[in-house]
Amino acid sequence: MSLAEFRRILDQVGRTTQCTGIVAAFQPRTPRGGLGIEDFFQELDNEPSYEKYAFILNPSRDNTPTDGHAIRERLDRFGPAFHQLDARRFSHLNAAKIQEHTHIVD
């Protein structure tokens, strides 16, 4: 996704009364092209009304550890609330955990 595409989505969210939030998934590596996780949070910083959350998958689906500390260091300046999810769990269980913290669905 490009920065322009993400800005269009943010604009649509701001104009849609029934939309209560955005959920995006990123690989923690630095992207070769397109939007990176820092770019995403930087754009959200331009909209002070957004609450920011970062859900870190640890352990990963194949049970390998994730360097959550490195991800936190990259994102701390944006002030998201950090939470950990276990990628080995079924996706609907992690979605319920995200809902528990964000209340994105009424």
pLDDT tens per residue across span 44-98: 888 878 889 999 888 777 888 888 888 899 999 999 999 999 888 888 888 899 8
Q: 26 and 37 in contact (C-beta within 8 Å)?
A: yes
- Helix then strand then coil, in percent of the chain rounded to 5, is 40, 10, 50
> Structure pTM?
0.79
The neighbouring-strand residues paired with 53 are 81
Give the residue numbers spanning the domain of 27: 3-102
Query: Which two tokens mark 14?
Result: 């701001």
pLDDT tens per residue across span 10-51: 888 888 888 878 888 887 777 777 788 898 899 888 887 888
> How many domains is the chain partitioned into structurally?
1
**Phi, psi (rounded to 5 degrees) for 53:** -130, 145
